[in-house]
């Protein structure tokens, strides 16, 4: 059984929500809305309320933090490293191997812009790195 600190996983899930709120809000919200074709008026007719979407984002963040915590435990044992080095290496390789290819597919197959690709994948790299740092020092 893997020894994971579930409080750290909870904090990691919360961080996904907080960073996402900042990233897609005051930092890059207007650019993101323009890139995906959303207006403040069209947001009112979306299927989910903002609270429902945030709850869904929190659940996804929890899942990501949980899996990341397990990866860190195994990678740390395998690589024999700890601390920020383990956190940032884990975040980078998971990002490069899983998040980047999926988001390139959005550009190639759905016709989304490279600007949206860079905005979205940058968000994922930041959230993975911050969450990994919390998990490494708290797991």
Q: Summarize pLDDT for 67-85 with one digit per residue, the tens.
A: 999 888 887 767 777 788 8
Burial of residue 16 (CB within 10 Å: 0-12, 13-18, 19+) is buried
The range of the structural domain enclosing residue 114 comes to 6-138
* pLDDT bucket at 40, cuts 50 / 70 / 90: confident
Per-residue pLDDT, 2: 64
Q: 48's torsion region: left (phi>0), alpha (psi -120 to 50) or beta?
A: beta
The stretch 88-114 carries a mean pLDDT of 94
Could you tell me if residue 1 is inside a domain?
no
Q: Is the pLDDT of residue 5 over 80?
A: yes
User: What is the rounded CA–CA span in Å between residue 126 and residue 122?
Assistant: 6
* pLDDT bucket at 49, cuts 50 / 70 / 90: confident
User: For 13-35, how does the pLDDT look when each residue is reduced to its tens digit (9 = 90+)?
Assistant: 999 999 999 999 999 999 999 99
User: What is the rounded CA–CA span in Å between residue 69 and residue 9?
Assistant: 7
Could you tell me if residue 116 is inside a domain?
yes
Residue corresponding to tokens 């429902």: 52
Could you tell me if residue 53 is inside a domain?
yes
Could you tell me if residue 110 is inside a domain?
yes
User: What is the rounded CA–CA span in Å between residue 65 and residue 121?
Assistant: 17
The stretch 50-74 carries a mean pLDDT of 90
The stretch 101-129 carries a mean pLDDT of 95
Handedness of CA 67, 127, 110, 30 (dihedral sign): positive
* pLDDT bucket at 1, cuts 50 / 70 / 90: low
> What is the DSSP-derived secondary structure letter of residue 44?
T
User: What is the rounded CA–CA span in Å between residue 65 and residue 63?
Assistant: 6
User: Looking at the 3D structure of the chain, how many domains does it have?
Assistant: 1
């Amino acid at each position: 059984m893997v020894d994971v600190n579930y409080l750290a996983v909870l904090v990691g899930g919360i961080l996904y929500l907080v960073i996402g709120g900042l990233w897609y809000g005051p930092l890059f919200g207007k650019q993101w809305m323009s890139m995906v074709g959303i207006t403040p008026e069209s947001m009112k007719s979306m299927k989910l309320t903002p609270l429902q979407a945030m709850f869904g984002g929190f659940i996804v963040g929890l899942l990501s933090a949980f899996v990341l915590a397990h990866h860190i435990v195994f990678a740390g044992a395998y690589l024999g490293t700890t601390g920020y080095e383990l956190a940032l290496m884990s975040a980078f390789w998971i990002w490069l191997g899983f998040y980047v290819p999926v988001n390139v597919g959005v550009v190639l197959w759905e016709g989304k812009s490279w600007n949206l690709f860079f905005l979205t994948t940058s968000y994922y790299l930041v959230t993975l790195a911050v969450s990994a740092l919390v998990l490494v020092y708290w797991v």
